[in-house]
Amino acid sequence: MTLLKVALRNVVRNKWRSAISAVAILVGVGVVVFVQGFTNGFLKNVVEDAVLAKVGAIQVHRKGYLDAEKDQLKLDMPDDPAIVAKLSAIPGVTAVTRRIAFEGMIGNGSVSSVFMATAIDPRTEYAVCPKRRESVAAGSSPLDEKSENGALLGAQLVEAMEAKPGATLTMLSASQGGASNALDVTVRGFLPSRFIIESKRMATVGLPFAQELLRMNGRVTEYVIQVEDLERADEVAERVRAAMGEDYEVHGWRQLSPMVRDLLIRLRIVLVSVAVILFLLVVSGIVNTMLMNVYERVREIGTMLAIGTRQRQVVSLFLIEALTLGLVGATLGAAIGWGVVAWMGKTGLTMRPPGGDPNHYFPSVEPSFVAGAVGLAVLGTLVAALYPAWKASRMRPVDALRAI
Partner 1 sequence: MFALIRIALRNVTRNRRRSLITLSAVFLALTVMVGVRGLLNGLQATIREGVVYGQTGAVQVHRKGFLKAMQGAPLDLDLPADEAFLGKIRAVPHVTAVAARIPFGGMVNHGDQTVFSLFTALDPVAESKVCPQRYERVKVGRPLDPADPTGGDFTTPLLSRLGVKVGDGVAILTNDRDGVLNAVDMKVIGSFPEPGLFAADKKVGFIPLPLAQELLRMPGRATEVAIAVDPLDRIDEVVAALRPVVGPEYEVSSWHDVAGYVDEIVKNQNLVLNLISNIFLFMALLGILNTMLMSVRERTREIGTMMAVGVRRRQILALFLLEASLLGLVGGALGLAAGYGIIHHYAGEGIVMRAVGSTTDIVIHPFITAPFVARTFVVSIVGAAVAALLPSFFASRLRPVEALGSVA
Site residues for partner 1 per CB under 8 A: 16-17, 20-21, 23-24, 27-28, 31, 69-71, 103-105, 107, 109-115, 156-157, 159-162, 174, 177-178, 180, 195-197, 200-201, 258-259, 262-263, 266, 274, 277-278, 280-282, 284-285, 287-289, 291-292, 295-296, 352, 354-355
Measured from the CB atom, is 24 or 128 closer to partner 1? 24
Backbone φ, ψ for residue 227 (5° rounding): -120, 170
Residue 317's H or E segment, with its range, is: helix 311-347
CB of 242 to partner 1, least distance (A): 32
**Angstrom distance (rounded) from CA 224 to CA 213:** 21
CB of 259 to partner 1, least distance (A): 4
What are the Cα distances from residue 240, in Å, to 164, 232, 253, 342? 43, 13, 14, 38
**Angstrom distance (rounded) from CA 54 to CA 128:** 9
Query: DSSP 3-state assignment of 193?
Result: coil
Measured from the CB atom, is 177 or 218 closer to partner 1? 177
Measured from the CB atom, is 201 or 219 closer to partner 1? 201
Angular region, 66: left φ>0, alpha ψ -120 to 50, beta rest: alpha
Measured from the CB atom, is 93 or 161 closer to partner 1? 161
CB of 400 to partner 1, least distance (A): 14
CB of 182 to partner 1, least distance (A): 12
Query: What number of other Cβ atoms are within 10 A of residue 253's Cβ?
Result: 23
Strand 58-62 and strand 168-174: pairing? unpaired
**Angstrom distance (rounded) from CA 228 to CA 212:** 34
Cβ(183)–Cβ(213) under 8 Å? Answer: yes
CB of 238 to partner 1, least distance (A): 27
Query: What number of other Cβ atoms are within 10 A of residue 398's Cβ?
Result: 10
Cβ(56)–Cβ(226) under 8 Å? Answer: yes
**Angstrom distance (rounded) from CA 251 to CA 258:** 12
Measured from the CB atom, is 288 or 313 closer to partner 1? 288
Measured from the CB atom, is 28 or 142 closer to partner 1? 28
CB of 265 to partner 1, least distance (A): 9
Measured from the CB atom, is 127 or 276 closer to partner 1? 276
CB of 135 to partner 1, least distance (A): 18
CB of 22 to partner 1, least distance (A): 10
Backbone φ, ψ for residue 120 (5° rounding): -125, 155
Measured from the CB atom, is 104 or 302 closer to partner 1? 104
